[in-house]
Amino acid sequence: MPNNKMPNSKPEKPAKAAAKTAARAAIAKNQPMLRSIKGGKGTAKPPSGKHDSAKHPAAPDDAPIIALKLEMAKLSPAMAAYFKKCQDKLGFVPNVLLAYAFDMAKLETFVAMYNDLMLGDSGLSKLEREMIAVAVSSQNRCYYCLTAHGAAVRQYSGNPLLGEHLVMNYRVARLSKRHRAMLDFAVKLTASPWSVEENDRERLRRVGFSDRDIWDISAVAGFFNMSNRVASATDMRPNAVYHGQAR
């Protein structure tokens, strides 16, 4: 997937760099871009030409971003820079970042962990990590994550059907043995974590995953079990722009 054509939902710099950036007390001039956690400009404005805004004029169905009244904090320099990068690259700041932006420590740790897991070095491709995200979010019926990461699967794979399959029921996707084993593990870990045992890990090894890969599958599945719950607990709403991406 050519990066210069399809807006990536992630910052260009990978995890570790972003984390450092965040923590390093960046020098960038610190001007909060968004005034309110409830419906910032970035929320409603889709990238021009990507979406027929006439049909979703104000997306009232998906505002405010969360059901909690939390004042957005002054962005730290690192986070201000990161938000600016999102705006430049994606055309919008993902709502989950706005939701966390009431507290810089929480926003920074979330961003650092997210970027390490989803964009850092791994034996799993970025698409594979997004596939796990969607299969887990489907098990948990998380609207925010299904929308944002469903779009990511469509983008990374160039196969819109794959995104739909994983949102609705990953078992209908015609997956390689590797991917089927990967998602079976992630979904079992989601539905009944107490029942995951050595034979489950062995099945992953048999299709070629290393022990480090197994950690990464587990960590990504675990991360979305966290994010799904924060999103559901707060009624988090995705940016409208995701719905039309890469259909």
Dihedral sign of CA atoms 116, 96, 68, 237 in order: negative
Nearer to a copy of itself, 87 or 157 (CB): 157
Is 87 strand, coil or helix?
helix
- Tell me how far, at minimum, the Cβ of 141 lies from a copy of itself, in Å: 4
Q: Which of residues 181-220 bind a copy of itself (CB under 8 A)?
A: 185, 189-190, 193-198, 201, 211-212, 214-215, 217-219
Q: Which of residues 161-180 bind a copy of itself (CB under 8 A)?
A: 161-162, 164-165, 167-169, 171-174
* Member of 86, 108, 179, 183 binding a copy of itself (CB under 8 A): 108
* Cis peptide, bond prior to residue 64, ω within 30 of zero: yes
Residues 6+ apart with CB under 8 A from 247: 154, 160
Identify residue 60 by its one-letter amino acid code.
Answer: P
Checking 165-174 for CB contacts under 8 A at 24+ apart, the result is: 166/131, 166/134, 166/135, 166/138, 167/134, 167/138, 168/138, 169/138, 170/131, 170/134, 170/135, 170/138
The verdict on 28 binding a copy of itself (CB under 8 A) reads no
Nearer to a copy of itself, 30 or 109 (CB): 109
Nearer to a copy of itself, 32 or 160 (CB): 160
The verdict on 233 binding a copy of itself (CB under 8 A) reads yes
The verdict on 91 binding a copy of itself (CB under 8 A) reads no
Nearer to a copy of itself, 35 or 205 (CB): 205
